[in-house]
Structure 1
Amino acid sequence: MKQERLWTKNFIMISSVNFLLTLVFFLLVVIIGLYAVDEFKATTSQAGLVTGIFIVGTLIGRLFIGARIERIGRKKTLIIGFILFNTVTLLYFFSSSITVLLITRLLHGISLGIASTAAATIVAFIIPMARRGEGIGYFSMSSTLATAIGPFVGLLLTQVTTFQTIFAICLGVGIVGLLAGLVVQVPTLKLDVANEPGVKQKFSIRRYLEPSAIPIAFVTLAVAFCFSSVLSFMNFYAIEQDLIKAASVFFLVYAISVLVSRPFTGRLMDMKGANYVMYPAFVLLAAGLVVLGSATSSLSFLIAASLIGFGFGNIQSCTQAIAVKITPRERMGMATSTFFIFLDAGLGFGPYILGFVLDIVSFSQMYLSLGFLAFVTIGLYYAVYGRSEKDRLSI
């Protein structure tokens, strides 16, 4: 039997759209705090708020659009999101105070939440059903590339040009993304109007979240909470351990590990099931956090980066694939929104909570404890999906 094509023009273009969106996010996330301090003499806490309020915006955007994406239309939502994204990027040029910058960051996050949710929903319809795990794995690699390239380019640009030029580059990237989005052809889906997301009805959680995706989304929340410690505190830990050179290539090693493994793990999930990917990935993530917490050399630091890449990188794409797999086609937009809401919540609120934890424990102790948390999350995954996967494979 001939295998359905995955690498179509639509798949390549929507993956490019996702890459460009995520690239702007990660490029700005590493420089916006520096900009706040340099331009507005912001305090450390204010700089942190300028960075973190973006995630709050993405949560608002996802909650808002998840219930409306099918009614508005997936492609129309993507284009509207991109237009808003680029319009708000212009506001960086006119930020006259820390308050205006905070509002700009919040609005930018909302627009990213709308556009990225639309992109992830579109790709779920473009990918052939039999290759969903593999396809979402490849699609997620576009975010992984941006995770590695964005911070590197952002920090490099701060050394050679002005913040205004960086904002102009981000606007240019956003315009290219909008043009790419315009050529994507999106399959249409006739909905049952009575059950259509977003239609006025009594309050129900189904208007904002997809109930069937919530259990696996809690797994995503737990591992994202663990990974947020790496995103937010790894550089501080590296300085403490005198491993700053290793830290400069940490995310490059992380990204390479994800890129190398995802094509294989995506196909493995489609052929054998999610359990064959998820259980080893939990162990690798836990091991990576333990190695990071015990790191005393550049080699051990980078081994941790690789293990975390193999672990978290594959858990993220696999749980996303599960969320859309177990959801009716007409609710895929809501399922995608639900997945990313929980992912963003873990990444966004994790650093805030762990900041209090670090008042009483060291960086090393925090990473060791999170390694244990990642390992016991296996039990949560088993309870909400793993034990019944065989019964779900026909869904």
Structure 2
Amino acid sequence: MDTQKLWTKNFILAALSGLFAAMVFYITMTTLAMYAIVSFRASASIAGLIASIFVLGGVFGRLFSGQYMERIGRRKFILSGCFLFFLASVAYLLPLGIVSLLIIRFLHGFTFGSIHNALSTVVLGFIPPNRRGEGIGYFSLNFTVATAFGPFIGMFIVHAYSYTILFTFCAFSAFLCLLSALFVKIETPVFTEEQTAHLKEKFTFKAVFERSALPLAFVIFFMSLCYAGVTAFLNSFAAELNLTYMASIFFLVYGVAILLFRPLAGKLLDKKGDNIVMLPTIAFYAASLFTLTFAQTKTLFLLAAILMALGYGNILNMGQTIAVKSVDSHKISTATSTYFIFSDAGMGLGPLLMGLFVTWKGYAFMFLIEAVIVTLSILLYYGLHGRHPHAKGSLV
């Protein structure tokens, strides 16, 4: 019987710090485009850039984190990142123009990518090795809660109050992110001379990207590419069907379903191996997109949300677990960075690429294309990772 504790003070505080940061991310992602249009009369393309440049900043932040966190020191890196994240959140309250707002958004994304990658690395040290899938599943629920409630809170504040109140709320959430991180006991790992030399390598592809994490990183790229199409166009698709409110309900049901299913998936991965979780979850994800293709009723929207929770809702964090579980301690930060860089790239490119299919044949056709891509990704996963003996677990 496992006697190692998962729910320690450090684990909880790290998860809370990540939650408060993720709330700021999702609140601003869903409100900043409209803010730019209302306040600066920005065009749709500029407004979209103001929203999405945050993701670009996050990619660079993850690159920086993976390369330099161990050099600077984990605690110093995280606290500095959280403090700068707080300052960037406060900066929205200043009188800004379009150019300065773009700069703030990039820097905000950079600090978010840095601290999210760092927290995702540090928290692994708080999780018992034989409960890593379960632990990462619980830790990543901070993003799930933010996904479900961040956009709702953001739109409520904007409609009921003002953008000033919205930015004040974001600054307060960023402060709580810093405050939570301040009380996390972050120990400095001890590395060998060879590992230290590796950490001091120049900024090259080999130093920035962890090779062992690339197979799962390639898989998550296509998974996130398709999910970005859902987040970007589901609201418009629902409006076209005169079911506008179902888009909000979809993400709420999606978030609640993940809260129920994800811990079970983590435990299953720990006990039975990678394939017994990843293969069915990719299939569930494809099924959710096929369901959206033919969704004309509330029931099909709700079914698609539950299937997506069983699918993409588990793929993102289970893929991270697999990507880092066999990596040496001095490479965990780089492996985590590699994985999320590919995920962010998919999220960033998704709306652009999937928008081409929407323009060509409409929303339903786009979901069909996404369903095909995800179905083919079963073969991609198996070819890159699943066919290897260490992925098969005890059932094979």
Report the 3-state secondary structure (helix = DSSP H, G, I; strand = E; otherwise coil) of the residue aligned with 1:30.
helix
Partner of 1:333: 333
Partner of 1:151: 151
Partner of 1:349: 349
* Residue ranges of structure 1 left out of the alignment (5+ in a row): none
Partner of 1:52: 52
Q: Which amino acid aligns with 1:292?
A: L
Partner of 2:323: 323
Change in 2 beyond 3 A, CA 1:189/1:147: same
Q: Does 1:216 align with 2:216?
A: yes
Pairing 1:100-111 to 2, within 5 Å after superposition: 100-111=100-111
Partner of 1:62: 62
Pairing 1:1-395 to 2, within 5 Å after superposition: 1-196=1-196, 199-201=199-201, 204-390=204-390
| Distance (whole Å) between structure 1 residues aligned to residue 19 and residue 105 of structure 2 | 20
Deviations 1:233-287 (A, max 9, x none): 1111111111112112111111111111011111000000111111110111001
Change in 2 beyond 3 A, CA 1:322/1:81: same
How far is 1:202 from its partner? 5.2
Q: Which amino acid aligns with 1:250?
A: F
Change in 2 beyond 3 A, CA 1:39/1:125: same
Report the 3-state secondary structure (helix = DSSP H, G, I; strand = E; otherwise coil) of the residue aligned with 2:387.
helix
Change in 2 beyond 3 A, CA 1:289/1:197: farther
Report the 3-state secondary structure (helix = DSSP H, G, I; strand = E; otherwise coil) of the residue aligned with 1:215.
helix
Change in 2 beyond 3 A, CA 1:391/1:119: closer
Does the 8 A contact of 1:323 with 1:339 survive in 2? yes
Deviations 1:176-195 (A, max 9, x none): 11111011012331123444
Change in 2 beyond 3 A, CA 1:391/1:48: closer
How far is 1:294 from its partner? 0.7
Deviations 1:80-111 (A, max 9, x none): 11111011112212243111111111110001
Q: TM-score, normalised by structure 2?
A: 0.96
How far is 1:174 from its partner? 0.8
Aligned length: 394
Instruction: Determine what percentage of the aligned residue pairs are the same residue.
Output: 39
Q: Which amino acid aligns with 1:63?
A: L
Does the 8 A contact of 2:274 with 2:391 survive in 1? no
Q: Which amino acid aligns with 1:332?
A: I
Q: TM-score, normalised by structure 1?
A: 0.96
| Distance (whole Å) between structure 2 residues aligned to residue 197 and residue 254 of structure 1 | 44
Q: Which amino acid aligns with 1:160?
A: A
| Distance (whole Å) between structure 2 residues aligned to residue 268 and residue 215 of structure 1 | 21
Does the 8 A contact of 1:226 with 1:370 survive in 2? yes
Q: Which amino acid aligns with 2:30?
A: V
| Distance (whole Å) between structure 1 residues aligned to residue 185 and residue 234 of structure 2 | 41
Report the 3-state secondary structure (helix = DSSP H, G, I; strand = E; otherwise coil) of the residue aligned with 1:385.
helix
Change in 2 beyond 3 A, CA 1:12/1:238: same
Report the 3-state secondary structure (helix = DSSP H, G, I; strand = E; otherwise coil) of the residue aligned with 2:140.
helix
Deviations 1:37-81 (A, max 9, x none): 111001111111111100000001111121111111222211111
| Distance (whole Å) between structure 2 residues aligned to residue 103 and residue 94 of structure 1 | 13
Does the 8 A contact of 1:285 with 1:308 survive in 2? yes
Deviations 1:4-41 (A, max 9, x none): 11111111111111111101100111111111011100
Does the 8 A contact of 1:70 with 1:196 survive in 2? no
Superposed CA RMSD: 1.6
* Residue ranges of structure 2 left out of the alignment (5+ in a row): none
How far is 1:215 from its partner? 1.2
Does the 8 A contact of 1:126 with 1:187 survive in 2? no
Does the 8 A contact of 1:67 with 1:198 survive in 2? no
| Distance (whole Å) between structure 2 residues aligned to residue 136 and residue 90 of structure 1 | 30
